[in-house]
Structure 1
Amino acid sequence: MRTIFILNGPNLNLLGQREPEIYGHTTLDEIRGWCEADAAELGLAVEFRQSNFEGEIIEAIHAARIKAAGIIINPAGYSFTSIAILDALKMFERPKIELHISNIHQREAIYHHSLVSKTATAVIAGLGAYGYRLALRAMAEMTR
Structure 2
Amino acid sequence: MTKPIYVLNGPNLNLLGVREPHIYGTTTLEDVRGLCEARAAVFGRQVVFRQSNHEGQLIDWVQEAREGACALVINPAGYGHTSIALLDALKALSIPIVECHLSNPAAREEFRRHTFVSLAATGLVSGFGARSYELAIEAAAQAAKASA
Q: What TM-score bracket applies, with the shorter chain setting the length?
A: over 0.9
- Name the CA distance, whole Å, in 2 between partners of 1:119 and 1:5: 16
> Which ranges of 4 or more aligned residues in structure 1 deviate by more than 6 Å?
none
Deviation (angstroms), 1:2: 2.9
Deviation (angstroms), 1:66: 1.0
Deviation (angstroms), 1:41: 2.3
| TM superposition score normalised by structure 1 | 0.98
Deviation (angstroms), 1:125: 1.1
Q: Which residue of 1 aligns with 2:137?
A: 136
C-alpha root-mean-square deviation of aligned residues, in Å?
0.7
> What percentage of residue pairs aligned between the two structures are identical?
52
Q: Structure 2 regions of 5+ residues with no counterpart?
A: none
Deviation (angstroms), 1:15: 0.2
Structure 2 residue 87 is matched with structure 1 residue 58: no
Q: Which residue of 2 aligns with 1:70?
A: 71
- Name the CA distance, whole Å, in 2 between partners of 1:39 and 1:59: 23
Q: Which residue of 2 aligns with 1:7?
A: 8
3-state secondary structure, aligned to 1:2: coil
Deviations 1:15-56 (A, max 9, x none): 000000000000000010111122222100110000000000
Q: Structure 1 regions of 5+ residues with no counterpart?
A: none
3-state secondary structure, aligned to 1:139: helix
- Name the CA distance, whole Å, in 2 between partners of 1:135 and 1:95: 11
- Name the CA distance, whole Å, in 2 between partners of 1:116 and 1:139: 15
Structure 2 residue 120 is matched with structure 1 residue 119: yes
Amino acid at match of 1:61: V
- Name the CA distance, whole Å, in 2 between partners of 1:98 and 1:40: 20
- Name the CA distance, whole Å, in 1 between partners of 2:3 and 2:135: 17
